[in-house]
A and B are shown apart, each in its own frame.
Chain A
């Protein structure tokens, strides 16, 4: 494969990953890493490094829109970032020492969890939880304009400590595996902390920029972000995500889920095979 050929192949893979990721509501990272490491034979650490930079890019692009629309709860984001950034720092440092086969195994577990969480029906937000003094003191409650309902919806934030704990785990996974961690952030904000799903997604995508930047900074300064790999991955994922957003309304949800499940199932089996070999 010549460099040009390789770059175009990467662009294509990254585009598909960005497209599928945004349709499935997960970042591109969870598809980019296996595509690079298993299909194209890139070293998994360089695949993770390129992916985490692409995750920064998609987060910045999508959250710029959500923030302007007032969908993001900035205070919740800044607070939980304390946890995700600490976690990402731990995860990225850990990634420097962990043997490759172990990375494949952890990735297979996280991927299985993501698949499972897409499969089951989303849990309803727990209503009527005890009021949270921490949320009161930090002024976390918010409101947003719901386009579907045509009015402003106010909400109370609960279980702030649970949110902080789960965010730390999301951060570790992000730093270790080069993914955003949205598969953990969104449910904990929505189901655990009682924030509306749209606000949870917008806030998660905003936090992911900073979370991923932590891991990206470490990989970048270590010299593991290879420009020749990262450039087409960033560009491809960005355009893929853009197409995905545009297609979102036109494709049936079941189809997206079915395709995604197949991709996840195949990837998990392959990763387990690599990790257990």
Chain B
């Protein structure tokens, strides 16, 4: 059925230079694994350290809209180093959201090596839109 000699899109088993499938799959696993560890450890940490508090009032404060103001990144780094549990969670959530973005970036690089111009362009546009959404969200 294939009319095109370029590497198959869905793992035909041919030894095409960097197997896009394996690269992407590995990247997704690493991204997911590390963000999961940060989120879980951060949650445990905030309870063990007693940051979360233990009253109904504390719960209301933690879930009231608008309290999760966007963390400035230089503050986040400091809080991470101090072992602030909720900063670990925030970093984990950020890493989780960034993983698909990295996946698009890596795909673009692989398509570049395969000299598949159409898909380099497609990935570049998707990447630009993803970065735009971070900027747009920051702006309000």
Are B10 and A142 touching (Cβ within 8 A)?
A: yes
> In residues 84-123 of chain B, which contact A (Cβ within 8 Å)?
86, 89-90, 92-94, 96-101, 103-104, 107, 116, 118-119, 122-123
In the complex, A209→B4 CA distance in Å? 29
B81 at the interface (CB under 8 A from A): no
| A64 CA / B32 CA spacing, docked (Å) | 10
* Chain B interface, DSSP helix/strand/loop, else mixed: helix
Binary per-residue interface labels of chain B (122-137) against chain A in the complex, 1 for a CB within 8 Å, 0 otherwise: 1101100110111111
Residues of B within 8 A of A192 (CB): none
Please name all residues of chain B whose beta carbon is closer than 8 Å to the beta carbon of A243 when the two chains form the complex. none
Given A7-B43, A56-B100, A228-B86, the answer on whether A42 and B63 have CB atoms closer than 8 Å is yes
A156 contacts across to B, CB distance below 8 A: 1
Task: Mark interface residues in B1-24 (1 if CB within 8 Å of A CB, else 0).
Answer: 111101011111100000011101
Cβ–Cβ contact A75 & B28, under 8 A: no
A4, B46: Cα distance in complex, Å: 10
B28→A226 contact, CB < 8 A: no
User: In the assembly, what is the distance between CA of A204 and CA of B132, in Å?
Assistant: 23
Establish whether residues B22 and A68, one from each chain, have CB atoms under 8 Å apart when the complex forms. Answer: yes
Given contacts A3-B62, A42-B63, A72-B10, contact A213 B97 (CB under 8 A): yes
The count of chain A contact residues (Cβ–Cβ below 8 Å) is: 80
Q: A86–B11 Cα gap in the complex (Å)? A: 28
User: Which residue numbers of B lie inside 8 Å of A, CB to CB?
Assistant: 1-4, 6, 8-13, 20-22, 24-25, 28-29, 31-32, 35-36, 39-40, 42-43, 47, 52-56, 58-59, 62-70, 86, 89-90, 92-94, 96-101, 103-104, 107, 116, 118-119, 122-123, 125-126, 129-130, 132-138, 140
Would you mind naming 16 contact pairs between A and B with Cβ atoms under 8 Å apart? A56-B100, A57-B32, A64-B28, A70-B21, A74-B9, A79-B122, A81-B122, A81-B126, A92-B133, A92-B137, A96-B140, A213-B100, A217-B97, A217-B137, A221-B136, A225-B93
